[in-house]
Amino acid sequence: MTLLPRLPSRLLVVAGLLLATTVSLVAAAGASVHHNPLTGEVVNFYGERPPPNATVHKYLPPPSKDDWYKPPDGWEATKPGAVLRTRPHAYPTINIRNAIDTFQVLYRTTDSRNNASWSVATVFIPKSHENCTLPTSSPSYNASACSHGIVAYEVPSDSADPDAAPSYLLQMREPYGEMRDMLARGWFVMVPDYEGPGASFCAGVQAGHATLDASRAVLSIAGQFGLQMDRVKLGLWGYSGGAFAAEFTAELAESYAPDLTIDASVIGGSSPNLTTVDERMNNKDTAGLVVTSILGITVQQPAAREFLLKQLQPTGPFNATRFMNATTMTGADALDAFSGQNVFDYFVNGRDDWANPAMQDVIHDDAVMGLHGVPRMPSFYYKAEHDEMSPVNETAAIVEQFCNAGANILFHRNTLGGHNDELWSGRLRALEYLSAKLDGHGNITIPATGCATLDVTIPLDPLYLLPDWWWTEGPGAGLGLAGAG
């Protein structure tokens, strides 16, 4: 089975090289680093921050230096999902193809401990929307040209640094090309800073709340930007680290935001148990994500953070200062800084400190799926059978649990490739599922009710899907294939 297009003949030689060497994306708990499929070298494309004083392009300042991110007085008394501030035409420079404009929303939400919090969502408006004449009361208003679909897209953040939030970094470029492809289908793309103001990486409840409240806030004002509110459809999508946020959002939707209708959720390469993932990422080039996950999961947990700081080695090559430096790193920077290390060497008692209930209880409550509700929206799960970061059986067990509780799920287990490959191999199926639910047509078979688990065999064919940056400034620059994606 395949939904991937045939490659143009002029690309076959390069495609052969790509397939022979295999594209590898370190996406464990949502890493944002590619490996050059031709050389195997790391390409830290999402680790860069927008230059603050660029002469050609203009960028917003980082959140810590941007007063717009400071919520107004009295914000705590507002309801979850309330709009606190908006920024139309948010990005001075848009580096994502098929986007014609952006706007941002500062909104009230709730953290993992049910305390009042706030976050930011960035919304990208598709180029197809340019013929949507506003305001809607205008005689020249053309509803047929206005979008009705919007997708809450969870960008893997992977960082414990608030200045590495998607709302800031996406000014440079998008990681994978998925936003470009959604925009090409005429959908608004909403990206929440689901880690919140403290960069709570891997705090699932925080991520779910932030995404649900982002959806509430954006939908409350999106009509001003031309979204057809009388026929709006809302989708949810994330892969790997993004799937972590999307899955918790789907679980929490019924209890936390019963007023919100989500028409589809798409969960790719999910990691149901952070403990399993951290064990598998340690001692590899993904070890940096173990560090950022430990930091992120303890941001809102004072007792766990106190325990962490107490148990870090004060001196030696693996010391507390080196560990805590990750709080000022992007996910890509952390991957580079801690590559190949045994993260447990930073602890006084080694792995025993990480396995201590002071840490594991927090992980259980905030980073294990299946404990916070059942997704009630139609859902598509996809995962590689040989996923090396998280066992496919862990996801299968979650799917079975939800199905036994009445969920409507299509689950694809790809017999080819691993975690990194499925990012590419699953994209077109994810887009077709979203199209079926948002637009009423899609080239994918979906169970009307109940669940279906299918073993599919879909080869890695990334050339068509590679993001634009790959051809213009990444490993593909100079190959004469700019824009092929």
DSSP 296-326: HHTTT-HHHHHHHHHHB-SSSSS-HHHHHGG
pLDDT computed for residue 438 by the predictor: 98
Residues in the chain: 485
pLDDT computed for residue 3 by the predictor: 35
Torsion angle in degrees (nearest 10) through CA of 255, 258, 263, 269:
-20
User: Are the CB atoms for 234 and 150 separated by under 8 Å?
Assistant: yes
3-class secondary structure, 438: helix
Torsion angle in degrees (nearest 10) through CA of 451, 454, 460, 465:
-30
Low-confidence ranges of the chain (pLDDT < 70): 1-46, 52-55, 136-137, 140, 480-485
255-298 confidence digits (pLDDT tens): 999 999 999 999 999 999 999 999 999 999 899 999 999 999 99
Q: Is 386 tagged catalytic?
A: no
User: Are the CB atoms for 159 and 329 separated by under 8 Å?
Assistant: yes
Place of tokens 């960069």: 199
User: Are the CB atoms for 113 and 300 separated by under 8 Å?
Assistant: yes
CATH-assigned architecture of domain 23-459: 3-Layer(aba) Sandwich (3.40)
Distance between start and end Cα atoms, the chain? 22
User: Are the CB atoms for 30 and 157 separated by under 8 Å?
Assistant: yes
Residues 418-443 as b/e (b if ≥16 CB within 10 A, e otherwise) read bbbbbbbbbbbbbbbbbbbbbeeebe
Kindly report the pTM of this predicted structure: 0.92
Q: Which residue is catalytic, options 158, 163, 213, 387? A: 387
Q: Which residue is catalytic, options 240, 270, 293, 379? A: 240
3-class secondary structure, 79: coil
Q: DSSP letter at 412?
A: E
Structure tokens at 128: 């197809």
Structure tokens at 253: 């939707």
Nearest Cα to Cα of residue 124 among 99, 157, 149: 99
Q: Is 129 tagged catalytic?
A: no
User: Are the CB atoms for 239 and 151 separated by under 8 Å?
Assistant: no
Contact residues for 236 (Cβ-Cβ < 8 A; gap 6+)? 151, 152, 154, 211, 246, 249, 250, 262, 264, 265, 266, 377
pLDDT computed for residue 19 by the predictor: 35
**Cα(274)–Cα(279) distance, integer angstroms:** 9
Phi, psi of 119 (to 5 degrees): -160, -175
Q: Which residue is catalytic, options 163, 419, 435, 461? A: 419
pLDDT computed for residue 15 by the predictor: 36
Q: Is 419 tagged catalytic?
A: yes
**Cα(332)–Cα(117) distance, integer angstroms:** 27
pLDDT computed for residue 140 by the predictor: 67
pLDDT computed for residue 21 by the predictor: 32
